[in-house]
Amino acid sequence: MASIDGARVAFLVATEGVEQIELTQPWADIKQAGGVPILLATEPGEVQGFDHLDKADTFEVDEAVDNVSVDDFDALVLPGGVANPDQLRMHEGAVAFVRDFVASGKPVAAICHAPWSLVEAGCVEGRTLTSWPSLQTDIRNAGGTWVDQEVVVDDNGAGPLITSRKPDDLEAFDRETIALIEKQLA
**Spatial contact of 63 and 37, defined as CB atoms under 8 Å apart:** no
Note if 112 is an active site residue. Answer: yes
User: Rounded to whole angstroms, how far apart are CA atoms 28 and 36?
Assistant: 10
Instruction: Give the active site residue among 52, 91, 113, 123.
Output: 113
Q: Active site includes 52?
A: no
**Catalytic-role residue among 52, 91, 112, 123:** 112
Q: Are 144 and 163 in contact (CB under 8 A)?
A: no
Residue type, 16: E
**Cα 146 to Cα 8, 23, 114, 142, 158, distances in angstroms:** 29, 23, 14, 11, 18
Residues with active-site annotation: 112-113
